[in-house]
Amino acid sequence: MMSIGQPLDRVDGRLKVTGAAKYAAEFAPANLAHAVLVQSTIAAGSIDGIDIDGAQRMPGVLAILTPDNAERLKQQKAAQQTITAPLLQNREVLFQGQHVAVAIAETFECATAAAAAIRVRYRPARPVTTMLTATEKPYVPKDFRNGEAPPDTEMGDAAAAFRGAAIQVDATYRTPVEHHNPMEPHATVAQWDGDRLTVWTATQGISGAHKTLAGLFGLAPEDVRVICPYLGGGFGSKGNTWPPVVLAAMAARKVGRPVKLVVTREQMFTSNGYRPMTVQRVRLAASADGALLSVRHDGITQMSMPSLGEFAEPVAMATRMLYASPNIATSHRLVAVNQGLPTFMRAPGEASGVFAIESAMDELAVALKMDPIDLRLRNYAEEDPTGHKPFASKALRQCYREGADAFGWARRTPEPRSMRDGRILVGMGMATSTYPTNRMPAKAWARVNADGTALVRCGTQDIGTGTYTVMTQVAADELGLAPGKVRFELGDSTYPEAPVSGGSMTVASVSPAVQAAARAAKGKILAMVSAVWPDVPLETLRLEGGAVIAGAQAITLADAFAKHGVDHVEADGEAAPGPDAKTHSMHAFGAQFAEVRVDPDLGTIRVSRWVGAFDCGRLLNAKTARSQLVGGIVFGIGMALLEETRVDAATGRIVNANIAEYLLPVNADVPDIRTIAIQSVDPVADPLGAKGIGELPMVGVAPAIANAVYHATGVRVRDLPIRIEDVLVG
């Protein structure tokens, strides 16, 4: 029986629920010391001096790292996923909360006390603390999407078509700064053995961290080892190699013993990126029958000071491919402020950008007096309208149909404030979901033992989405074994290289490599047996249940291996995107349906029902897939109604850097969620036909809720999160 697609329980589930799974902060080499970060209290300027004498005299203190005594790193650009500044390489201060010193001591408590005793004198400058207070003009990104796509595009003449259209929508939408806040904080344990470095760190990119550390410390790749067997969530914040990882290694070299550095919850708001604020203007024009004549989407995104690097939130990328129109224009601009460098946050670009375009589509449907689904179907893109490529696969029509049927969309009355449950206003809203189908090269290794068990390794990571489990299923099916006979290992840079777990690409990238390694090992086994059975055609042999079978004949692996004097067979495998990836537009799709209930007197908003229908290719595990779909929708509910990082405009300080005041969804905020996975196989995405689903279900949640709130109240909210005061009307 094939195990792929089955709802197999997580193979690492028991380890996690019993506490046996070890996370980065739980590794404890002998003689372990502790490091605590000291962060700046100004947003711009420079360090005038640092008084460390009192801290150094404290019992148990081993060393204090400052810009004056920190190791000079070998290079400032070690890898694409490196965030190299600030790393105590100079005295410049670029944002509030920047790392300015590290206290290292025998115990965590002693290091914490020493960090508090360090006195830093500053020479402050006038900061630009928020995007809305910046005076410099927005600028064009210099390296938008690593040069793979231009920041601006125009097809046709969107401005002229807009001016002459019968129906127009011209609106501006804002999304705030948001922070990831995974359960596990960023943590690193670093240990040197001469010039060999080992780090246990919470990372979504083991291979990236490995390259970064080797480059910054001038080490040969074989002299660096990065280990991360389990991750307590990341949502993008652990995709880069952030300064605390490097600072932990610097501290360990400084004191000559292993060092643990765990970022506090408050420090996570300034140490490892965030979703940047966006201001997006969308202009849509349509004929009276709903045909889109013009689409324009212009996005402005918050950025750090350019010397920290560059990150451009690609908010208009989905608009380039989502709907058919002869005139489509998009642009991206950045505004520099004295905050840390933004980064990827679950569904980067699409989560923020689709809020704007899908809210505008709902506004257009209202102006046309047209059903929102009918409007989307009227402008359904049969091929990528700006990329001029066929879609590798697209079942979005089916998502609309099955989602609407399951939700009961036909019961919706179109007029705002027309549906009630007693005194409570009821609203129904929907939005489209989409996310690119990404894939990168990956490698794997497989060993099949004489006892009918197998070991498979890949230097990928399981960020909580079930990678251990689905890769076990892939290898088991290829080797004809029960999943319980296969052990899949990951989380170690000494294993074959794999890409970052981001962009929903792990399944599409790693599973073909795992399949290839297992297939290569199987090929060796079948060739061995073919030599034993010379009269049996090789193509008739199959591997099943720890034996090679051909018709009525069978030979166990133990017997087959014994005849060749071996006790195992091993093989390498690798996989990479094929040429079809360049000739097709590759995306996953979905349709989100939200019901909200709004108290007209109190303004409280409750999401009461949810249906999400998704075209996400072949599911490798039905149970872990549903978990991801539900988790993404919950993430989107937080974006719509709760999450916002608040910055004091005078000082640049984040005032709600905790999870008491930075609001996240809890059980009471989340309704029953029904998910529908459209059964489809993408022939181009990867050999197994799977599309990534980690980020897809978050996209479209915020606009579906905003559109439902409008339907319930008649109030159009264009700024997130939606607050009580936004919907209170006289």
CA–centroid distance for 363 within its chain:
29
Tokens at 456, concatenated: 């498979």
3-state secondary structure of 286: strand
Place of tokens 């939005």: 431
Whole-angstrom distance, CA of residue 323 vs CA of residue 529: 55
Whole-angstrom distance, CA of residue 695 vs CA of residue 636: 10
Tokens at 241, concatenated: 């190699």
Which has the closest alpha carbon to 180: 95, 267, 269, 84?
Answer: 269
Which stretches of 398-536 are assigned E, i.e. beta strand? Answer: 420-421, 424-436, 442-449, 454-457, 486-489
Which has the closest alpha carbon to 103: 69, 65, 70?
Answer: 65
3-state secondary structure of 58: coil
Q: Is 695 a catalytic residue?
A: yes
Whole-angstrom distance, CA of residue 538 vs CA of residue 664: 58
Q: Residue 197: which H helix or E strand, with range?
A: strand 196-201
Amino acid found at 617? G
Whole-angstrom distance, CA of residue 54 vs CA of residue 381: 67
Gyration radius (Cα) of the chain, Å: 27
Report yes or no: 350 and 275 within 8 Å, Cβ to Cβ.
no
3-state secondary structure of 505: coil
Strand 119-124: give its sheet, edge to edge.
92-93, 45-51, 119-124
**Whether residue 577 has a cis bond before it, omega within 30° of 0:** no
Whole-angstrom distance, CA of residue 569 vs CA of residue 556: 14
End-to-end Cα distance, the chain: 63
Whole-angstrom distance, CA of residue 564 vs CA of residue 546: 16
Place of tokens 């719509």: 640
The one catalytic residue in 350, 358, 644, 695 is 695
Whole-angstrom distance, CA of residue 293 vs CA of residue 368: 14
Report yes or no: 439 and 427 within 8 Å, Cβ to Cβ.
no
For 431, 591, 717, the CA distances from 363, given in Å and listed in that order, are 12, 17, 11
Place of tokens 């000071």: 305
Amino acid found at 213? L
Which has the closest alpha carbon to 684: 577, 576, 573?
Answer: 577
Strand-pair partners of 311: none
Tokens at 238, concatenated: 């652990």
Strand-pair partners of 63: 104
Tokens at 475, concatenated: 């290898």
Q: How many CB atoms sit inside 10 A of residue 478's CB? A: 24
Quick one: residue 569, left, alpha or beta (phi over 0 = left, psi -120 to 50 = alpha)?
beta
Tokens at 530, concatenated: 């073919």
Query: Any idea which residues carry the catalytic annotation?
Result: 695
